[in-house]
Structure 1
Amino acid sequence: MSEDRVPERSESSDLTPPPPEPSASELLGAALGGAARSAGLDPNSDASTGRVVWTAMGGWRGVVESVLPSLTFVLAFTLTYDPDTETGNLPLSLGLSVGLAVVFTVIRLATKSPPGPAISGLIATVAAAALALFTGRAEDNFIPGFVTNVLYGSAFLVSALIGWSLIGLAVGFLMGEGTAWRKDKRKRRVFFWLAIAWAALFAARLAVQVPLYLAGDVTALGTVKLIMGLPLFAPMVAVNWLAVRALYPTHKA
């Protein structure tokens, strides 16, 4: 009797094709979407517009951490301004600003709160203060902010012009459709204008603040920076939130 032979299984039958590597747009969308979700900007949530905006601003703690160091610098420099020398006490003003940023960071670490916002604020404050101390010009304390506005504004503008809106990439990831939104003319148009709106905001900040910097008017520059900060950021977030919820009505509460 011949032995029954079991047919050998082909090794190729056990092999499954590896999953495709994520594209650069998918990776960028995941990064942007993750950041938006961490900031409370998830279109899948049932939160009200006001709550979403308040969460994106970081609540009372986020507002204080964002505003107080800059406000303290402006007040200290203005109050110590000497008309004869046409300057204020720069070391004192910068020291108070950096000191507050350090306090906020320590409080977050002590209370085991997410330290990211405070740490990023501290790094920005220290970098700006170091530059101003190095040059001896108080207005140079605002240069890092100008650089940030240029980078963010350029990124939003370029992404809109080439048809890969950063807003669309983030929303596509959050809504689980990847880059499929690019096949929808309505979504592409909305995401294009939202990106343009953000680019316009950053450009407006530069258009107003750079002339004040060139004029060396530290008090006016600091005041305008505060006015064009959160007071403009909040309505922009609200507009984006409402626009996205209108595009995805099935996800509304």
Structure 2
Amino acid sequence: MTTPAPEEDKDQTEERQETLLEQMGGISGLIYSSVPVIVFVLANAFFGLNPAIWSALGAAAVITVVRVVRKERLQPAISGFFGVGIAVFIAHQTGDAKGFFLFGIWTALIYGGVFLLSVLIRRPLVGVIWSALNGLGQSWRTDPVSRRAYDLATLTFVAVFAARFVVQKWLYDEDLTGWLAFAKLAMGYPLFAVALAVTVWAVRKATARQKEREAAEETDADVEARLRAKYADPA
């Protein structure tokens, strides 16, 4: 009888973390998402609103083409392009550069509300999404320890979205467009990294609990059958 080597479990855990990161856009997605924002702010500062709008759209289009050519995940590329499209449309309609950030501000509020609601109805979204994407089922919901871990991960995302909304909405109301752009970028990478770290911890916790529960589910009948098979007369 052999037992899996610790290295195998470690490799599987690392693979799951990479899959999770890819499903959430990947490191390249985080980098790409900042380029249109920087281009927009710089173009607006030097050339005005309309050139900034077209520059941001152009940057988003180039990024989309690059991701397609490199055969990266298509969905984040398309989502990013449409996100920039909506942002520049709002900026054009409002006639103000700060309108570029309005969509993201209210999106953060909506996301935060949805994540919070999922905790209140005892279906934390981090657990639901992770299990659905990886075909793990929803049995973790009957385990208080696993559910609390996913609750904490989900509430971390709630805190991230709430912080983005509060800070950026205040900067928007104060007409601090430059600081608004800085806040959008600064509150992207660091806060996402914190939420991702808590998510990885929650996944590990829930996975370990699932293995413990599966091992403990062996019934008396299973034990008896196993012992009979072990000590049965081979003749």
Is the TM-score greater than 0.5? yes
Q: Structure 1's 49 and 168: CA in aligned 2 closer, same or farther, altered over 3 A?
A: closer
Q: Does 1:66 align with 2:25?
A: no
2-side partners of 1:251 and 1:229: how far apart? 32
SS at match of 1:248: helix
- Structure with the greater alpha carbon radius of gyration: 1
Q: Structure 1's 248 and 44: CA in aligned 2 closer, same or farther, altered over 3 A?
A: farther
2-side partners of 1:177 and 1:68: how far apart? 36
2-side partners of 1:130 and 1:47: how far apart? 40
2-side partners of 1:76 and 1:113: how far apart? 28
Give 1:107's aligned residue. 66
Give 1:10's aligned residue. none
Q: Does 1:46 align with 2:13?
A: yes
Shift of 1:71: 1.3
The answer as to whether partners of 1:102 and 1:122 remain within 8 angstroms in 2 is yes
Q: Does 1:219 align with 2:178?
A: yes
The answer as to whether partners of 1:169 and 1:179 remain within 8 angstroms in 2 is yes
The answer as to whether partners of 1:165 and 1:191 remain within 8 angstroms in 2 is yes
Q: Does 1:122 align with 2:81?
A: yes
Give 1:140's aligned residue. 99
- Residue correspondences, number: 201
1:127 aligned partner, one-letter code: I
The answer as to whether partners of 2:64 and 2:81 remain within 8 angstroms in 1 is yes
SS at match of 2:13: coil
Shift of 1:176: 5.1
Q: Does 1:228 align with 2:187?
A: yes
Give 2:218's aligned residue. none
Q: Structure 1's 69 and 147: CA in aligned 2 closer, same or farther, altered over 3 A?
A: same
Name whichever of 224-233 and 62-71 sits farther off: 62-71
1:105 aligned partner, one-letter code: T
Larger RCO, structures 1/2 (Cα 8 Å, 6+ apart): 1
Shift of 1:250: 7.7
RMSD of the TM alignment (CA)?
2.7
The answer as to whether partners of 1:74 and 1:223 remain within 8 angstroms in 2 is no
Q: Structure 1's 240 and 215: CA in aligned 2 closer, same or farther, altered over 3 A?
A: same
1-side partners of 2:162 and 2:108: how far apart? 7
1:19-73 superposed Cα distances (whole Å, 9 cap, x missing partner)? xxxxxxxxxxxxxxxxxxxxxxxx99431798567644523x3233111111111
1:167 aligned partner, one-letter code: V
Instruction: List aligned pairs for 1:51-200, cutoff 5 A.
Output: 51=18, 55=22, 56-59=24-27, 61-78=28-45, 80=46, 89-173=48-132, 178-200=137-159
In structure 1, stretches of 5+ residues that fail to align are 1-42, 81-87
SS at match of 1:178: coil
The answer as to whether partners of 1:245 and 1:251 remain within 8 angstroms in 2 is no
1:190-221 superposed Cα distances (whole Å, 9 cap, x missing partner)? 22222111111101101101011011111000
Give 1:21's aligned residue. none
2:38 aligned partner, one-letter code: L
Percentage identity across aligned positions? 35
SS at match of 2:72: coil
TM-score, length basis structure 1: 0.70
The answer as to whether partners of 1:156 and 1:196 remain within 8 angstroms in 2 is yes
Give 1:243's aligned residue. 202
1-side partners of 2:195 and 2:151: how far apart? 14
TM-score, length basis structure 2: 0.75
